[in-house]
Amino acid sequence: MGAAPARADETSEPPRVELVLDVSGSMRAKDIDGETRIAVAKRAFGQVVDGLPETTQLGIRVLGATYGGDDKRKGCQDTQSIVPIGPVEPVAAKNAIARLQPTGFTPIGLALRAAARDLGTGEAARRIVLITDGEDTCTPPDPCTVARQLAAQGTKLVVDTLGLTPDEKTRKQLVCISTATGGTYASATSEQELTDRVRQLVDRAAVPPPVTPAAVTGAATCEKAPVLSAGLFTDRERIGEHRYYRVPLQPGQELRASVSVALDRPVNRDYGVLLKAATPNGRELVRGLDASSGRADVISAGLRWSPGDEAIDTVCLIVSNSFASATSAGAPGMPLELSIDTVAASTAPDAPGLGRGWLLLLVLVVAGLIAGVLAGWLTRWWVATWREN
């Protein structure tokens, strides 16, 4: 019937990280501190590998590293794992990196799928760090679509992207990949920046998040909705879709909920996200809304509701959106994060207003009486003065 509340990841299995390095022909360009991109990347990787903790489960995969011909069909299959996922042996890893030579095409989408297979499944957090100097030259599969598909398979696979001297098209593609999976995007134009960025991403990936959201699937009706207790949850919602979740309430409890939707694809202007609380029979209790008319990375809405004297023991939460998109409007849907909490009901008003109780009413009456007397006296004084003149 229900999903367990979100809690810290209790698995003893350490997080797994895979570095995916672009070794395509464009990495021969000599525009980073007067050296080739691949030479700078090799040194940066070597420094990062030397500083890794022994417990880090790291792998390295390359793309465009072996086929230098003109046959695009062959070149777009060119991706290999050169360091398997596991405890890192620095000497072996640096030797494997040192042998790399810029060669062929840039099959980013294919490499992301392969990296996800390298990382495997299970309870451990999994992270891909993609380093490239250009956009995919082998579409299909489109890397943004691949990233959405990977994200839809579970909540513990994140892709961070790092662009080496990226142009605008490359930047947009890398932002799309990272946003779709809840990752980050960064760029580097010097060896020091590249080393620092890679080390930061690997260090971050090696530490599990303090709270791992629980994956749930909202229903199309309240009757079939999953029952959720307090916690943090993730789901995916298609454009224009409504998703239902049920939250039980004990007597004297107040519901607080919020939802955030990540915009992992271009959407039309003028859009919004709506979070509603309703009774199981459809009567609306309260709503929270956020709207925008421009591009944003995340849009959020929240609500708070206390039953008061009503005997309501189950609340239906409904998440809906008013997005529209010329492309990519279907599966796997936009990633959303739903936060739910139940606390002791507050005696404060639910919304701004005049307040509650007779004391405030008495204050308003007295203030009105005093203001009326003063206004009358001033008016009579002004009239008397005007007649004398």
Residues 6+ apart with CB under 8 A from 223: 280
Name the pairing type of β-strands 227-228 and 2-3. Answer: parallel
- How far apart, in Å, are the Cα atoms of 129 and each of 108, 174, 195, 254, 331? 12, 11, 13, 41, 25
CA distance 322 to 304: 22
Q: Do domains 2-7+14-205 and 214-344 have the same CATH topology?
A: no
Q: What is the pLDDT of residue 342?
A: 86
- CB–CB of 21/131 below 8 Å? yes
Dihedral pair phi/psi, residue 23, rounded to 5°: -120, 30
| CB count in 10 Å sphere of residue 345 | 16
Q: Identify the sign of the CA torsion 269, 275, 280, 283.
A: negative
pLDDT > 70 fraction of the chain, expressed in percent and rounded: 87
Rounded mean pLDDT of 46-61?
84
**Higher confidence at residue 138 or residue 376?**
138
- CB–CB of 173/135 below 8 Å? yes
Rounded mean pLDDT of 126-146?
91
User: What percentage of the chain's residues is helix, strand, coil (to nearest 5)?
Assistant: 30, 30, 40
Name the pairing type of β-strands 30-32 and 253-262. Answer: unpaired
Question: Residue 10: is its pLDDT beyond 50?
Answer: no
Mean pLDDT over each residue of the chain, to the nearest integer: 84
Q: What is the pLDDT of residue 210?
A: 65
| CB count in 10 Å sphere of residue 64 | 30
List beta partners, residue 79: 63
pTM to 2 decimals? 0.63
**Higher confidence at residue 226 or residue 57?**
226
Structure token digits, residue 366: 């007295």
- CB–CB of 64/22 below 8 Å? yes
- CB–CB of 212/7 below 8 Å? yes
CA distance 312 to 149: 39
Banded model confidence at residue 331, pLDDT cuts 50, 70, 90? low
Which of 25-34, 108-117, 145-154 shows the lowest per-residue confidence on average (mean pLDDT)? Answer: 145-154
CA distance 28 to 46: 18
Q: Identify the sign of the CA torsion 271, 275, 280, 286.
A: negative
Banded model confidence at residue 330, pLDDT cuts 50, 70, 90? low
Would you state the CATH architecture of domain 214-344? Sandwich (2.60)
Select the CATH number that applies to the domain covering 2-7+14-205 from these four: 3.40.190.10, 3.40.50.410, 2.40.50.140, 3.20.20.70: 3.40.50.410
pLDDT digits (tens, 9 = 90+) for 256-269: 999 988 877 778 88
What's the CA angle centered on 310, arms 346 and 347, to 5 degrees?
15
pLDDT digits (tens, 9 = 90+) for 180-229: 887 888 888 888 888 888 888 877 766 666 667 888 999 999 999 999 99
Rounded mean pLDDT of 347-368?
62
Q: How many residues does the chain have?
A: 389
- Cα 179 to the chain's mean position, in Å? 6
Q: What is the pLDDT of residue 286?
A: 92
Q: What is the pLDDT of residue 317?
A: 96
Question: Residue 66: is its pLDDT beyond 60?
Answer: yes
- The verdict on whether omega for the bond into residue 141 sits within 30 degrees of 0, i.e. cis, is yes
Structural domain spans, the chain: 2-7+14-205, 214-344
Kind and range of the H or E element at 172? helix 168-181
